Amino acid sequence: MPPQGPQPLQELQEQKLLRAAYSERQLQEVLADFWFNHFNVDARKGQVRFMLTEYEREAIRPHVLGTFRELLGATAKSSAMLFYLDNFQSVDPEAAMNRGRQPGAGQNRPGRGRGFVIQMPQRPQQPPQAQNAPRGLNENYARELMELHTLGVDGGYTQKDVTEVARAFTGWSIDNPRMGGGFQFNARMHDDREKTILGHKIKGGGLEDGEHVLDILAAHPSTARFISTKLARRFVSDVPPQALVDRLAKRFSETKGDLREVMRTLLTSPEFRSAGAYRAKVKTPLEFVVSAVRATGADVVSARPLVNALQQLGMPLYQCQPPTGYKDTAEAWTNTGALVTRMNFAMNLGTNRQLGMGPNQLRALGSGDTLLQSVLHGEAAETTRATVARAQTPQQVLALALGSPEFQRR
């Protein structure tokens, strides 16, 4: 099945696979994937597909080893996130009924960040399908900001906090959303009354209300713990050691969310380097496809078949519908159907030039034990060797090697 969506999405899907397969900056690529998944948006929702390239290039990639606050702010102001979670339509209900009122004090003050304008239009711009929709407060972004982006579901916030955060982000919108414009702050649509969020009072200062909320959430201890748990789960095990999570959270707080320092603590930890962490994680479909290309030295002629393979494996790139993103635990990716599909991909890899493994490349890997050694580097269990020994062709050897239990794990 061909990849869905317009050409920009197809090209973005292909570049992601090619970067992952060929980049020498593997940590950078892993973190770009991790943080995009953390701040997930779905290309299939409205105009988001036209905003994805800028979102990944400017909101995600430059900040993966910066500070969490910078990353959080970049995603909050991105058109893709504003559209995906509907915040570009969120307005103060009173302002919507009384657009002629004068803006409150401080509404024209510039905020932090780049690429936005402050406007006070006669009426908010919106796509055709929303022109007749009821206007008012939208809590989607506020809820996901706290539950998925910062504090976590058990982070200590209440429904009242959700509503107050939503009020703080009224007016955070998009300049001409039908054309994929950039961030703008619509001052007349903002609720400039006092708000109380997690015990902090915000007096009402226009654009700065939202910035203040981001400051509070980025510095909250629950955020340090939630982010540390997700990183430890991604890099160590599905159930990360509590001692490691505690050290990461402590470092997160000490450095004010310096992600480079948090990653340094993680990658130099005894837990990360332990024998128990080696091959403890099951590869996601993306990791499986990319590692197969890297392990075989395949020369990818076209990345389109790889994109198609990920769709068949249940992980279409940039098309995860829920804001939670794709799961990073074994239970999500280990079932009989998924393993059979992986075997089929491995067989195709050895016979399809479009996938980059023509006959000459396959012959270069050798056959039998030599091919097994090339792919698994001598780490095949006896049961795997016995299974591979029954293969009758190099293509079957390759399929069994790439489909082996050893290769399914990082």
Map out the domains of the chain as residue ranges.
Answer: 88-279, 285-402
Chain centre to alpha carbon of residue 348? 28
Closest CA to 119 of 71, 59, 178, 181: 181
Question: Could you tell me the two tokens for 74?
Answer: 């970049």
Q: Is 201 helix (H, G, I), strand (E, B) or coil?
A: strand
Residues 192-209 have a mean pLDDT of: 94
Q: Is 266 helix (H, G, I), strand (E, B) or coil?
A: helix
Residues 231-239 have a mean pLDDT of: 97
Q: pTM of the predicted model, to two decimals?
A: 0.87
Q: Is 346 helix (H, G, I), strand (E, B) or coil?
A: helix
**Which residues, 6+ apart, have CB-to-CB distance to 103 below 8 Å?**
120, 187, 188, 192, 206
Could you tell me where the DSSP H helices lie in 23-144? 26-38, 48-54, 68-76, 79-84, 93-97, 140-144
Q: Are 138 and 82 in contact (CB under 8 A)?
A: no
Whole-angstrom Cα distance, residue 173 to residue 168?
A: 12
Characterize the bridge pairing of strands 195-197 and 200-202. Answer: antiparallel
**Which residues, 6+ apart, have CB-to-CB distance to 29 below 8 Å?**
19, 20, 23
Residues 47-70 have a mean pLDDT of: 96
Q: Which residue has the higher pLDDT, 282 or 395?
A: 282
Res. 199 pLDDT band, cuts 50 70 90: very high
Res. 80 pLDDT band, cuts 50 70 90: very high
- Nearest 10 degrees: CA dihedral of 383, 385, 389, 394? 130
Angle in degrees, CA 35, 39, 40, rounded to 5: 105
Q: Give per-residue pLDDT as tens, 104-143.
A: 333 333 333 334 443 333 333 444 444 444 468 999 999 9
Q: Are 107 and 192 in contact (CB under 8 A)?
A: yes
Share of the chain above pLDDT 90, in %: 63
Cβ atoms within 10 A of the Cβ of 188, count? 24
The amino acid occupying position 364 is A
Helix (H) or strand (E) holding 185: strand 183-186
Whole-angstrom Cα distance, residue 271 to residue 239?
A: 12
Q: Which residue has the higher pLDDT, 252 or 109?
A: 252
Question: Could you tell me the two tokens for 84?
Answer: 């995906």
Whole-angstrom Cα distance, residue 274 to residue 310?
A: 31
Residues 301-322 have a mean pLDDT of: 93
